[in-house]
């Protein structure tokens, strides 16, 4: 009985707070890289999806870059999206690597990947979510970026076509962006 009382107290105090902590991730990062070459130079890129049933008005990400030995270092910048993302849709955060290169100095050349943590999600109804642990953390290696993008593109396209059978997304929608011969690639 005492355990039930403690459980009810914890549940009630969680409801009373504005921040919701849950093991389920309302925003999931699908693909990320720290050396994505665009026309204006190298960038850190995060593709994410709103998996919740609410409109997300902002998402904050904490990044740790990974070196060739597997050690991780907290990134110098804050990464966030400050726009509305409806349920099922996604977004892209892009930042030039200049500040990271300056922060890490010569060590930046040895960075091979990134760990992305969804640290806060703000909803349009005024509530917010924060993770209770590391269940929402994802690790991405730069060497796998193109492969990860192609896999994600295939998943997004299949999901869209299942939901919109009369308005199918063509197979080349993101594929042309993924072709290294096109703009934005080395």
- The domain segmentation of the chain, as residue ranges, is 17-144
pLDDT band at 146 (very low <50, low <70, confident <90, very high): confident
Name which of 99, 101, 78, 82 is nearest 91 in CA terms.
82
pLDDT reading at 46 higher than 70? yes
168, pLDDT greater than 90:
no
Beta-bridge partner residues of 73: 65
Q: Give yes or no for a contact between 96 and 43, defined as CB atoms under 8 angstroms apart.
A: yes
Beta strands in the chain (DSSP E): 19-22, 27-38, 41-50, 56-67, 72-74, 79-81, 90-96, 111-123, 128-131, 138-141
The pLDDT mean for the chain works out to: 80
β-pairing, 90-96 vs 41-50, is: antiparallel
> What fold is seen in the domain 17-144?
Immunoglobulin-like (2.60.40)
Average pLDDT over residues 53-67: 95
Q: What pTM was computed for the model?
A: 0.74
Contacts 24+ apart (CB under 8 A), 68-74: 68/110, 68/111, 68/112, 69/110, 72/115, 73/104, 73/107
% of the chain with per-residue pLDDT over 70: 78
pLDDT on residue 170: 65
């Amino acid at each position: 009985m005492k355990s039930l009382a403690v459980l009810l107290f914890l549940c009630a105090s969680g409801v009373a707070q504005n921040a919701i902590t849950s093991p389920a991730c309302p925003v999931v990062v699908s693909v990320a890289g720290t050396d994505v070459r665009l026309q204006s130079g190298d960038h850190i890129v995060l593709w994410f999806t709103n998996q919740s049933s609410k409109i997300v008005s902002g998402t904050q990400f904490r990044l740790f870059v990974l070196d060739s030995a597997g050690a991780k270092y907290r990134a110098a910048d804050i990464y966030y999206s400050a726009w509305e993302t409806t349920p099922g849709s996604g977004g892209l955060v892009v930042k030039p690597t200049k500040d990271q290169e300056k922060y890490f100095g010569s060590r930046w050349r040895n960075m091979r990947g990134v760990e992305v943590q969804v640290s806060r999600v703000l909803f349009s109804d005024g509530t917010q979510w924060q993770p209770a642990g590391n269940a929402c953390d994802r690790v991405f290696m730069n060497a796998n970026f193109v492969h990860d993008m192609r896999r994600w593109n295939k998943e997004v396209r299949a999901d869209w076509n299942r939901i919109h059978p009369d308005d199918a997304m063509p197979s080349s929608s993101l594929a042309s962006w993924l072709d290294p011969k096109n703009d934005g690639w080395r």
